[in-house]
Structure 1
Amino acid sequence: MVDAVFLLRFYNDYFYTLYYPTIPLTDGTGEFTKGMAGWTQVEEYQDDFTVLKNWRVSKFADKEEKLAAMSVEDILKDEELKSYAVATSKVLFGDYCAGCHAAGGAGNPNFPILADDDWLWGGSVKQIETAMVNGRIGNMPAKGMMGNLSEQEMQDVTDYVMALSEGKGEDVAFTAGKAAYTKGMCLACHGPAGKPLAPTGSANLTDQVWRFTGLPGADLRTEAYNTIAYGVNVKKDGQYIAGTRQAYMPSFKERLPDADVNIKRLAIYVHALGGGQ
């Protein structure tokens, strides 16, 4: 007599084998029987995701409408909406920003740190939003503004820049470097005393935040010299010269989904990361 439990299991397995995709084909294609139900895990995932997405849209519709309608300055004043923008930005930041700026804005080598209060282009929430909309392209001439610095003068300027970062710029030992700094017109961008007079993308030389540091453990003086000698984004005949720093941030208005809202969201998030101005 055939065991009833065995028959039940047999028919149960037989049913699932026919109903769901299970049996690999022997033609070497890696395909399998599709099953009478036409069911796939991918379709079930997509259906579940759609349900979740629709639920989120319904639950947070009022906040999303406010984000779309309000300016970043007004969002920043609304604590509840600001918290919502920050909370919903983390995945976006991970997908679109962390590749350069690292998780939490800690900054990968040779990319700006967003988790401090040192801002090349200004740290107001509106300035951050503008940077994301328009992108940013760094610019610094090689060998001084006019390309007129000698090797010795570049060495002197490097020593002066290092001294500025340590608060020693007025020491008599760096007089030659200060003179070369003036000759090379470094002050036109970095200010007479190493601090830019306006946020135009130029580094503050009086702090110890370095835009280009190479890999961890790199000699800072060598890195500073290389930036002075080869500049930033310097091209000849349409090609970057050897040794020049490349500093480029693309516009995200065409890269982000729902860019109008998501750029605002990310601007609020980045502003919160670095003690924005």
Structure 2
Amino acid sequence: MAENNPFPGENNTGHVWDDNLRELSNPPPRWWMIGFWLSLLFVVVYTTLYPSWPIGQQATPGLLGWTQIQEFERRVAQVEARRAPFEEQIANLSAEEIIADPGLLQYTLASAKVLYGDYCAACHGSGGQGNPSYPVLADDDWLYGGSIARIKESITNGRRGAMTAHADLLTEAEVDALSTWVVELAEGGEGSAEGWDLYRAKACNACHGEAADGVLATLPDGEIVTVGAANLTDGIWRFEPGGYESARHTILYGVNQQGVPQTRDAVMPAFGTVARVDDVEVRKLSPEDIKKLAIYVHQLGGGS
């Protein structure tokens, strides 16, 4: 084909298509060749200084001795050094003092948000809205009280709800009457006199309180005494979807009752208890982390 090259004075290979499309044979630009050789030099220098070439289960260590683990540890140390003054204050101050300090509170909430996402969001939702059948933390309805002390107590020791299964203790008519009465209260009604009489006759007030609001007593400092029984007078249902059938199910099968297959499950793990692993004390969360989370949850629901 070269002997029939229609462009004999041009530096091409002689390959011509469609009369004028041809393959040229020009060298690359000088800047491109310089970049090419510099890139090769960079590879040689980089692989000499840093871990690069695999040899068995390891890689060449490099003259600098740099590793990703060392870099990670260095960065973590930098972060911990920045956090240290705040963490020291959190360890030494009470939750109330932390809340009173806007700057420290902002740091605490930011730090606790990460802890909340790791340990709490799976059950209580990313914003405290509560996943199905788990308590909402973004309202002011508290089963065990919403003070900082009570929230810390819940996180540290966990909670395990308890309600007796009444399937063998009540007649169908009594279950129906109590379920209907609970719905009346939840919808803002006063509840029938017959319902109140049955409520007290069956000792429901021993856990839910005389006013059916879950409060057994109120202490002089405003702290409430409760066993975690639900407030029956508001429209908040501990177990979805709420309503007559939900109330009836809870009355019949209770909460956390052994040997009752249809019982409600209501268990929160303890995050502050200490266990021993290989003679080392281990806990899920430190006291400082629990304090942070208590403040975070308190702020979500407005506390009490």
Asked if these proteins are the same fold (TM beyond 0.5), I'd say: yes
Distance 2:83 2:296 in 1: 20
Distance 1:76 1:126 in 2: 14
Instruction: Rate the CA distance shift 1:36–1:163 in 2: closer, same or farther, 3 A.
Output: same
Instruction: Rate the CA distance shift 1:89–1:219 in 2: closer, same or farther, 3 A.
Output: closer
Residue in 2 that maps onto 1:205: 232
Instruction: Rate the CA distance shift 1:81–1:47 in 2: closer, same or farther, 3 A.
Output: closer
Distance 2:106 2:38 in 1: 56
Residue in 1 that maps onto 2:39: 9
Question: TM-score, normalised to structure 1's length?
Answer: 0.80
Residue in 1 that maps onto 2:175: 154
Residue in 2 that maps onto 1:262: 289
CA contact (8 A) 1:68 1:261 kept: yes
The structure showing larger relative contact order (alpha-carbon pairs under 8 Å, at least 6 residues apart) is 1
Residue in 2 that maps onto 1:249: 268
Deviation at 1:224, TM superposition (A): 1.9
Distance 2:93 2:44 in 1: 59
- Structure 1's unaligned 5+ residue stretches are none
Deviates more, 1:220-229 or 1:46-55: 46-55
Deviation at 1:36, TM superposition (A): 2.5
Distance 1:14 1:79 in 2: 53
Counterpart mapping for 1:116-127 below 5 A: 116-127=139-150
Considering fraction of residues, name the structure with more strand: 2
Q: Do structure 1's residue 44 and structure 2's residue 71 form an aligned pair? A: yes
Distance 2:125 2:72 in 1: 30
Deviations 1:159-188 (A, max 9, x none): 11111101224347xx3x444433332222
CA contact (8 A) 2:181 2:192 kept: no
Provide the alpha-carbon RMSD of the alignment.
2.8
Residue in 2 that maps onto 1:166: 187
Instruction: Rate the CA distance shift 1:149–1:83 in 2: closer, same or farther, 3 A.
Output: same
Q: Identity over the aligned pairs, expressed in percent?
A: 42
- How many residue pairs match? The answer is 255
Higher gyration radius (CA): 2
Deviations 1:187-239 (A, max 9, x none): 221133421233320110111111111xxxx4633222211111011113xxx
Instruction: Rate the CA distance shift 1:196–1:6 in 2: closer, same or farther, 3 A.
Output: closer
Residue in 2 that maps onto 1:114: 137
Instruction: Rate the CA distance shift 1:76–1:17 in 2: closer, same or farther, 3 A.
Output: closer
Question: TM-score, normalised to structure 2's length?
Answer: 0.74
Structure 1 letter corresponding to 2:299:
A
Deviation at 1:265, TM superposition (A): 1.3
Structure 2 letter corresponding to 1:95:
D
